[in-house]
A and B are shown apart, each in its own frame.
Chain A
Amino acid sequence: MDYDFKMKTQKERTKVEDLFNYEGCKVGRGTYGHVYKAKWKETSDGKEYALKQIDGTGLSMSACREIALLRELKHQNVITLIRVFLSHTDRKVFLLIDYAEHDLWHIIKFHRAAKAAKKQVVVPRGMVKSLLYQIFDGIHYLHSNWVLHRDLKPANILVMGDGPERGRVKIADMGFARLFNAPLKPLADLDPVVVTFWYRAPELLLGARHYTKAIDIWAIGCIFAELLTSEPIFHCRQEDIKTSNPYHHDQLDRIFNVMGFPQDKDWEDIKKMPEHHTLTKDFKRSSYSTCSLAKYMDRHKIKPDSKAFHLLQKLLLMDPNKRITSEQAMQDAYFQEEPLPTQDVFAGCPIPYPKREFLTDDDQEDKSDTKRQQQQAAAQQQQQQQQQQAQQQQQQSQLQAQAQAQQQQQQQQAQQQQQQQQQHSHEPNSKRVRLSGPGGGPQPNQQVHPGQQQQQDFHQQQVAAAAAAQQQQQQQQQVQAQQMMFNQQQQNFQQRF
């Protein structure tokens, strides 16, 4: 290699540490490496970036794939690669990407902790729907470009915090992502086992050798269920992630315990699965005769006649050939039903979740079960302080409320009325205050449902009507408040256009 060429490129090359402050700002640790929260040194715009330092030295195959794919992908719901830094002296690779303050793993953890402490988290009624819609939007983009994610799980679904892209989903961690149009090797040969067990589709657990779009769809179904209930639907004792055998008895048992054992007609090709003989040896259909997804979700207060449940059922079909595509999912009735999905998943409301904390080097963020429980206790404490005000609000945890039956609301009516009075006496409606504040509104929306524009007029009429009838039942007021909120946000949206 030419000396002058080396010197010249060395001079032109900017070092990541010269451009960015990130020391002591580690916010994440994964199998891939460390993630730091970084800010420009020179400019003081305060814009935050995530700097991902890839583990090990040099260009691993997964680093290569991640760079190659992210360099090409451009979608508002897929993380953007801004720049790659190569540190020649220590052979380290850094990726500069969007900084997202939140992710579904932390969000769900927060809700779990709140649930355990019988606290309520105030979020927009349509938040789960908005999250899910944007996940599908991003995955549809990946799938139509023949890219499979293959490692979808809550930790990989990021959500932008306050800022120009507030409340926008970003699908991340594409290290495992593969092109699947004419793969040069059977995809299963590269990493035998890649998707975290809980989100792994049954065909993978039965030894499927080719990854498909349907595998990502199953994982989204799992995430959807977890968003609705705050519990991982196929929770199972975790073992070593890198086992070479895809067959996993306990995980299958867990799936059957929730879903029931598949009938022959439900999944005809199950007989062709490589591990089918092990399956028939290890499992008896009769052990799961009383199990069904409807029962499971009903136990978690998701009614089997709700649109949310109907969609979930189509995502969590055991037969991969029957699972719906991301495109079909985006057309689902669930997304046409109010509340409609919003571009800002927080719909302009204050974000109740804490910001990422900095990690020290020995404080590894372990996502195993035991650690989860410890963290949960800690999170509860933290949350208690943050939620003291919020808990008084009559609007219950809307993450669940959107699917909760009205019946239940009525039962709680008396109690809520009390709370409401309290709230009105010494606390302004924080949501509305925030909504009118600067920067709180949603972004110009290219992806929101086409029906939304028409819906808007409808809303305004309703609000006017509701405003005229001030002294109605509490339940109606609740609806009204939500619609007001939605409407303000719509107006805001219109102004921005």
Chain B
Amino acid sequence: MAGNFWQSSHSQQWILDRQDLIRERQYDLQILTEEEYQKVFIFFANVIQVLGEQLKLRQQVIATATVYFKRFYARNSLKNIDPLLLAPTCILLASKVEEFGVISNSRLISICQSVIKSKFSYAYTTDFPYRTNHILECEFYLLENLDCCLIVYQPYRPLLQLVQDMGHDDQLLTLSWRIVNDSLRTDVCLLYPPYQIAIACLQIACVILQKDSQKSWFAELNVDLDKVQEIVRAIVNLFELWKDWKEKDEIQMLLAKIPKPKPAPQR
């Protein structure tokens, strides 16, 4: 549905309340600090990104997969499904919904295996442990937990329109597009409508590129500027966190710390 965002399930069911989000995460936040929790999600957003790139998916599909991932854990503890299993499952589901053409199950598994080995060996010392049947089982659980809301609106399209409106500028578009990608490492996609995220990312890009002349353009936008500022803050916080974070040194400890699923009792 590329039509009306305001009538979409995204708008009506999946713009969450911050307090609600904190409440849902209570269990996990007894084990992880808020910062550690965010770092775990940054890591898995990277996993989804790399998997998507290896499968030659478009950014739109990768972004949708990432939003599925975040929506699932907005309602569930990390304990319920191993994020390493959910990440490729989200990719599989998003590629079907976004009409990218079918990814064969065997190709997905082999890409997972090779990516874990080649790109994330600093995080995982063992092989990718899941097979097709795990992913297909997981897909049903994912669909259920998403309440079948599969169409996700992304900030990319509104961003293109905004940049066009501003007077097209390639450098600005490239940078703000990247910032939208980065925003998937925060909770903003769960909390704000995509056009607000687009505006916030554009604003950050203008500041970075020192395009002061665009201030009046922003002032004329008919948008809740407080919300835009909240988004800007969330993304700037991410950049701060990134600056001092030595992911490769910390991630094994973090992954060891997250609550793990309990297998079925032995009979």
Q: Which A residues are closer than 8 A to B by beta carbons?
A: 1-6, 9, 13, 58-61, 64-65, 67-69, 71-74, 84, 86, 88, 91, 144-147, 178-179, 181-185, 189-190
In order of increasing CB-CB distance, the 8 nearest A-B pairs are: A145-B3, A2-B261, A68-B150, A181-B2, A146-B2, A5-B80, A72-B1, A64-B96
In angstroms, how far is the closest chain B Cβ from the Cβ of A105?
A: 28
**Which of A64, A147, A182 interacts with B97 by CB under 8 Å?**
A64
**CA A147 to CA B99, docked complex, whole Å:** 13
Of the A-B pairs whose beta carbons lie under 8 Å apart in the complex, a sample of 8, sorted by A's number, is A1-B80, A1-B137, A61-B99, A64-B96, A67-B143, A72-B7, A84-B143, A86-B143
Whether A67 and B101, one on each chain, are in contact in the complex, defined by CB atoms closer than 8 angstroms, is no
List of B residues within 8 angstroms of A64 by Cβ: 93, 96-97, 150
Whether A72 and B81, one on each chain, are in contact in the complex, defined by CB atoms closer than 8 angstroms, is no
In angstroms, how far is the closest chain B Cβ from the Cβ of A404?
A: 40
13 new A-B contacts at CB < 8 Å, known A72-B3, A145-B4, A184-B99:
A2-B261, A3-B261, A4-B262, A9-B141, A9-B144, A59-B96, A64-B97, A67-B148, A72-B7, A72-B151, A147-B1, A182-B2, A184-B98
**CA A61 to CA B139, docked complex, whole Å:** 13
Main secondary structure, interface of B, reads: loop
Whether B79 and A2, one on each chain, are in contact in the complex, defined by CB atoms closer than 8 angstroms, is yes
List of A residues within 8 angstroms of B82 by Cβ: 1
Question: Is the CB of B129 closer than 8 A to any CB of chain A?
Answer: no
Whether B99 and A183, one on each chain, are in contact in the complex, defined by CB atoms closer than 8 angstroms, is yes
**CA A71 to CA B13, docked complex, whole Å:** 12
- Minimum CB distance partner of A12 in chain B: B144
In angstroms, how far is the closest chain A Cβ from the Cβ of B203?
A: 24
Most buried by B among A2, A5, A84: A2
List of B residues within 8 angstroms of A189 by Cβ: 101
**CA A119 to CA B138, docked complex, whole Å:** 57
Whether B263 and A3, one on each chain, are in contact in the complex, defined by CB atoms closer than 8 angstroms, is yes
In angstroms, how far is the closest chain A Cβ from the Cβ of B8?
A: 6
**CA A146 to CA B263, docked complex, whole Å:** 45
List of A residues within 8 angstroms of B141 by Cβ: 1, 9
Question: Is the CB of B140 closer than 8 A to any CB of chain A?
Answer: yes
List of B residues within 8 angstroms of A190 by Cβ: 99, 101
**CA A384 to CA B140, docked complex, whole Å:** 50
**Which of A4, A9, A71 interacts with B151 by CB under 8 Å?**
A71
List of B residues within 8 angstroms of A179 by Cβ: 1-2, 99
A-contacting residues, B30-79, CB 8 Å: 58, 60-61, 76, 79
**CA A58 to CA B93, docked complex, whole Å:** 11
A-contacting residues, B161-215, CB 8 Å: none
**Which of B8, B100, B139, B140 interacts with A72 by CB under 8 Å?**
B8
**CA A74 to CA B151, docked complex, whole Å:** 14
Question: Is the CB of B22 closer than 8 A to any CB of chain A?
Answer: no
- Minimum CB distance partner of B98 in chain A: A184
- In the complex with contacts A5-B76, A88-B137, A145-B261 CB distance below 8 A: no
